[in-house]
Structure 1
Amino acid sequence: MAYDHPVELTSATDLAAMITDTCARFADKPAFSALGKSLTFTEVERFSGALAAYFQHHTELEPGDRIALCLPNLMQLPIAAYAALRAGLVIVNTSPLYTADEMAHQWQDSGAKALVIYGDLAATAAKALSQTQIRHVMTTSAKDFHQPQPASDAIDGALSLMACWEQALAESLPLQTPTIAPSQLAALQYTGGTTGVAKGAMLSHANLLANARQVLARLGDTCRQGEEIFIVPLPLYHIYAFTVNLITFFARGSLNVLIPNPRDLPGFVEQIKPFRFTGMAGLNTLFVGLCRLEAFRQLDFSALKLTISGGTALTSVAADVWHKTTGCLIAEGYGLSEASPVVCLNPIDQVRLGTIGPALIDTEVKLINDDGTTARHEGELCLRGPQVMAGYWNMPEETATVLDQEGWLRTGDIATINDDGYITIVDRKKDVILVSGFNVYPNEVEDVLTQAPGVLEAAVVGEPDRHSDEKVVAYLVTEGEMDIPALRAFCRTKLAGFKIPRKFVQMQSLPKTAVGKILRRALRH
């Protein structure tokens, strides 16, 4: 395709080899930075290798065993992730925002035997551990690279993560590199739970490396080898940043600047101010929130050439304010955990706002009707490619509902595809609202509502209605009091009558996933 320019990534066929190859190639260049400290690629190799050797010599962990990582965006996360991969372990990324019950479900379901966790979360984790097979716990602190902290006392027998790799370095423990087949599992990535109980997508080394190559092919020369500086506000435990930052940009020798708490927008700006950054990924609320800050507007954006949006539909308001503020267009992409995750991305020099771009190289897409037949204009998006998961962990029946024997993955998203391959996501199949026989797509209504004066965020769902199947209900976060007549009048200028919300509910905040995706199901009654 004209939009793709295959770029050399690595000759490695597994992530462990990719990590060591990359660290050797970019040795003294900075790889990660967070909270005023940086690590070179050489330091990343040394620390992750020491921790991997610790796993081999001081635990009974074997290749293929699962290890849960529950950390915010600190430099300890890439070190722990790379150590796990180099020891042949399978990563189970866990959100630090989880409750004890959610942690217990994920760790029990995955059969995790070890845990690396942020010390402040240890008390929550302690409530879950008795229901799991986890026997080795390591804790870490945001202060550890400034002044090492002791292990949390909230979990009996917990060890300090930094003390473990320092012990391995002091003992000069040898790392025995396991033989890793490309088809072996690298991660169990649990879906966000937006449609029910979280399921573990089985992602192999081949899946993740293939997706990194596909993304780089789309980015082409925009991601130069050893020269880029990417700001990373999205959590690395989410598949989006995990693949894009920990694998793709890392493998190109980029510096990833980690933001542990992106909700602190003034702190965010202070952390990125020293860097002449060239790229960033984010979502609507982050783009809009940053652009409202005078300190952000005063930054030097002359090097910024790549802004990626994914995880939720990009609103026209967010795209417009970001472009006006930074001079950089947002390239919207699309993916899902089951596809490692990236499926589509706008070419940087051919961005079409409102679309998710064409499918990546080596990715087939099609639209189907409810009965599985090919749809002509609009239908459920299905894909097939090297980034598609092997299935859901221990859930063959759930796997069979989304992945057929020919390798086609059903996404659950309604889409259209134009003649030159650009795809537009209309909405989640399960979120479509039926009003008197007509389909109403929440994404469309939400995009209009966020253009209305005073509306900061919008979520639209359907509620049962005696007269019209369902009625459209809008949940809004607004500046000041909500003016319902004015909102209705605004909607009438942009929406057909049956799409206009019949009910408006003002909220202090909307329920979201850890990445910032609005949880519509939490608003349904």
Structure 2
Amino acid sequence: MTSPGQYQVNSQLAELGHRSIYDILARARQDYGNKPAFSCGTDTLSFIDLDDRADQLARYLRHGLGLQPGDRLAILLPNLLQYTIGIFAALKAGLVIVNTNPQYTASEACHQFSDSGAKAVLVLDKLVPLVRKVQAETDIRHLIVTSLDDLQVPQLTANSSDETRFMQALQLGTELPAVSPERNPDDLALLQYTGGTTGVSKGAMLTHRNILCNVLQAVSIFKPGEVEYGNEVRVSPLPLYHIFAFTANCIASVFTGFHSVLISNPRDLDGMIADLKRHPFTLLTGINSLFVSLMAHPEFDTIDFSRLKWVNSGGAPLNTEIAKRWLARTGSVIREGYGLTETSPVVVASTANTPYREGYIGKAVIDTFMQTVDDDGNPTARGEPGELLIKGPQVMLGYWQREDETAKTFSADGWLKTGDVGVIDEEGFLKLVDRKKDMILVSGFNVYPNDIEDAVMRHPGIRECVAVGIPDERTGEAIKLYVSLHDAELDTASIIAHCREHLTGYKIPKNVEIRDDLPKSTVGKLLRRVLRDEARAEAGAA
């Protein structure tokens, strides 16, 4: 086995001449030209269109706003063509992207903006009030504002002196000097926020090399002839602010010349099914909850799946029963993957090169090394559970401005501690059996109990609370909240209503159980694991 320092994907990057992620689009422009790159609704951008508009916006970012290489640009958008333009414009301008969930509450967005030091934000018009609410607590000095229909009905007049309309910025950029990335492979490209064991959102520092290498690792799972570069149609419902969609559905799709059909609102199943019928799709990316929802739709069986070559599931565990139902109804196998924000994200994938093994995810992608260790850091035997550790060129530099958290996340010899408990069999297949962290995974989104508990404890009538994850067929996991009360008149509906005021939708508990007291250790520490095990046993997952 090659040493972890000898990664073949680095040699591939050198052969391609790629030094920044933007180079992928520059190459795609040459290779795929006027072929469609991204569609959203009835709008489509070719690779040339995408590059031209990214160039215009990059000029404006650098010369119009005065942003310098290394400055951070936050993007606060759902899946829109403007998002893809913003990504490549930021990369061409040498900026660092801060992907931000448009469902965030003001406090959640404020933390991410202020922690990253973002100086500007590309934002949907409907979310401008949220930015204004927190702007004084951040370094944001300028807003580039877009609307859902900007490409069809361009708006060119801003509402404030520190705002520029998106299409206005493109126009202004055409008159400004050219720019080049001015970045090296090991420079920062992305601050991708994740929670970690403390629940405090931290920015994983991902470099151009991290993402570029992970793109090459991800595309390596295809067998020769299995897909045709420049001639596949990929339906992409996962949000681009999620690291899996960012790397796989945006950057890797441009690398391969795939036509990506962006779904702005996957909850609108009627709209998504219309897109599935409109486009002769050959590839589909989703998560367990989406597959469940699609199969429950009355028009599901009217969709033409005859061209479908590949279905990816990433971002959340895939339920085996759901995968079986999907295969029975579509004739296509869902291939599961595993990764983390900290690994750009792809680590393990199920591929046509590896036989399907029920309960196992797959094997590590090229140039990725895995081992499992016990609580003392000693390697465990093949087939025995242990905490999963990772090495590879896709592993982050560390956490932004959090050296202490970075130190906790890496072993003394440089392995990334995933916090997941896994089993690696004799052939190298990975099975996840538990999570060492208390993180809950709801429809592919990381939910950290401390986030929930901090919000719940703002209610004066609540004495103590504990949030745990329970199995859920649709969302993978759901949140159950245990509480004890100061105010005996408080009911579960009031508690959930309080949560809705302070938490993003997917963080709201599905179940609330009120108890006289919650279990504690001898030193008074709330015993989350006891309640989690109890909740899972009640849910039939003991």
TM-score of Structure 1 vs Structure 2, range by shorter chain: 0.7 to 0.9
So what's the TM-score if we normalise by structure 2? 0.80
Aligned mate of 2:437, from 430, 437, 444: 430
Larger mean Cα displacement after TM superposition, 456-465 or 123-132: 456-465
How far the C-alpha of 1:366 sits from its partner, in A, is: 0.3
Conserved? CA contact 2:22–2:92, under 8 Å = yes
Q: Distance in 1 between matches of 2:361 and 2:281?
A: 24
Structure 1 position 157 matched with structure 2 position 162: yes
Paired residue for 1:121? 127
Answer yes or no: is the 8 Å Cα contact 1:332–1:353 preserved in 2: no
The structure 2 residue matched to 1:252, chosen from 256, 265, 268, is 256
**1:218 aligned counterpart, secondary structure:** coil
Tell me the SS of whatever aligns to 1:214. Answer: helix
Task: Map 1:185-264; keep pairs closer than 5 Å.
Answer: 185-192=188-195, 196-221=199-224, 222-264=226-268
Q: Who is 2:490 aligned against?
A: none
Matching residue of 1:354: 359
Aligned length: 460
The answer to whether the Cα contact below 8 Å between 2:76 and 2:100 also exists between their aligned partners in 1 is yes
Q: Does 1:416 align with 2:419?
A: no
Could you tell me how far 1:125 is from its partner in structure 2?
1.2
Secondary structure at the aligned position of 2:137 is classed as: coil
- Cα pair distance change 1:223/1:184, threshold 3 Å: farther
- Is the contact between residue 207 and residue 387 of structure 1 (CA under 8 Å) also seen in structure 2? yes
Higher mean C-alpha displacement, 379-388 vs 396-405: 396-405
Q: Deviations over 1:135-176 (max 9, x none)?
A: 1210101111111135664x652110111102222x2x3322
Pick closer, same or farther for the CA change 1:160–1:461 going to 2, 3 Å.
closer
Contact 2:337–2:348 (8 Å) recurs in 1: yes
Mark the CA change 1:152 to 1:319 in structure 2 (over 3 Å): closer, same or farther: farther
Secondary structure, aligned partner of 1:260: coil
1:107 is aligned, of 106, 110, 113, to 113
Q: Distance in 2 between matches of 1:312 and 1:86?
A: 32
Taking the aligned partners of 2:285 and 2:136, their CA distance within structure 1 comes to: 37
Report the equivalent of 1:520. Answer: none
Specify the alignment match of 1:311 in structure 2: 315
* CA shift in 2, pair 1:83/1:286, >3 Å: same
Q: What corresponds to 1:338 in structure 2?
A: 342
**CA separation in 2, counterparts of 1:141 and 1:242?**
21
Which digits, 9 at most, give the CA deviation of each residue in 1:298-340, with x for residues without a partner?
Answer: 1110111111112121112221221122111111100001000
TM-score, length-normalised on structure 1?
A: 0.82
Question: Aligned ranges for residues 445-524 of structure 1 at < 5 Å?
Answer: 446=471, 450=473, 459=478, 470-471=530-531, 472-474=533-535, 491=540, 499=542
Inter-partner Cα distance in structure 2 for 1:8 and 1:275: 33
Counterpart Cα distance in 2 of 1:216 and 1:405: 31
Q: Residue 144 of structure 2 aligns to which amino acid in structure 1?
A: M
1:382 aligns with 2:389: yes
Give the aligned partner of residue 56 of structure 1.
62
Please give the alpha-carbon distance, in whole angstroms, between the structure 1 residues aligned to 2:229 and 2:377.
43
Is residue 94–residue 183 contact of structure 2 (8 Å, CA) maintained in 1? yes
Check conservation: 2:197, 2:439, Cα contact below 8 A: no
SS of residue in 2 equivalent to 1:133: coil
Shift of 1:40: 0.4
For residues 459-506 of structure 1, the C-alpha deviation after alignment (integer angstroms, 9 at most, x for no partner) is: 48797658998253448xxxxxxxxxxx97x95xxx7xxx2xxxxxxx
Mapped partners of 2:429, 2:318: distance in 1: 15
Match of 1:175 in 2: 178
Q: Partner residue of 2:374?
A: 369
Instruction: Give the C-alpha shift of residue 406 in structure 1.
Output: 2.9
For the residues of structure 1 that align with 2:250 and 2:209, how far apart are their CA atoms? 15
What is the alpha-carbon distance in structure 2 between the residues aligned to residue 77 and residue 25 of structure 1? Answer: 22
Q: Aligned equivalents of 2:115 and 2:425: distance in 1?
A: 41
Change (3 A) 1:188 1:460: closer
Does the C-alpha gap of structure 1 residues 113 and 174 become closer, same or farther in structure 2, counting only changes over 3 Å? same
Give the Cα separation in 2 of the matches to 1:462 and 1:267: 33
Distance in 2, matches of 1:457 and 1:189, equals: 22
Alpha-carbon offset, residue 266 of structure 1? 1.1
Provide the rounded CA distance (Å) in 1 between the counterparts of 2:478 and 2:131: 32
Please report how far the alpha carbon of residue 224 of structure 1 lies from its aligned counterpart in structure 2 after TM superposition: 2.1
The 8 Å contact of residues 373 and 387 in structure 2, kept in 1 or not, is answered as: yes
Aligned equivalents of 2:476, 2:91: Cα separation in 1: 39
Q: Look up the equivalent residue of 2:138 and give its one-letter code.
A: T
**C-alpha contact 2:204 2:400 (8 A) present in aligned 1:** yes
Structure-1 separation of matches of 2:311 and 2:108 = 32
Match status 1:47 vs 2:53: yes
In the alignment, the residues of structure 2 paired with residue 100 and residue 219 of structure 1 have an alpha-carbon distance, to the nearest angstrom, of 41
**2:406 counterpart residue number:** 399
The residue type paired with residue 206 of structure 1 is R
Contact in 2 for aligned 1:461/1:473 (Cα 8 Å): no
Deviations 1:80-128 (A, max 9, x none): 1100000100000000011111111111111111110111111111111
Change (3 A) 1:94 1:457: closer
Indicate the residue corresponding to 2:285 in structure 1. Answer: 281
User: RMSD across aligned C-alpha pairs, in angstroms?
Assistant: 2.7
Structure 1 unaligned runs (5+)? 434-441, 476-486, 500-525
Change (3 A) 1:309 1:205: same
**Whole-angstrom distance in 1 between the partners of 2:321 and 2:84:** 34
Q: Percent identity?
A: 41
The answer to whether the 8 A contact 2:197-2:438 is kept is no
Rounded Cα–Cα distance in structure 1 between residues aligned with 2:412 and 2:221: 28
CA distance in 2, matches of 1:280, 1:389: 27
Match runs of 1:285-296 below 5 Å: 285-296=289-300
Moved more, 111-120 or 458-467: 458-467
Amino acid at match of 2:112: Q
- Cα distance change on mapping 1:134 and 1:228 into 2, 3 Å: same
What amino acid is the match of 2:437?
K
Alpha-carbon distance between aligned partners in 2 of 1:400 and 1:365, rounded to the nearest angstrom: 19
Instruction: Answer whether contact 2:316 2:476 (CA < 8 A) is retained.
Output: no
Secondary structure class of the residue paired with 1:176: coil
Partner residue of 2:36?
A: 30
CA distance in 1, matches of 2:151, 2:162: 22
- Return the letter of the residue paired with 2:530: E
Inter-partner Cα distance in structure 2 for 1:244 and 1:458? 23
**Deviation of the 1:253 alpha carbon:** 0.5
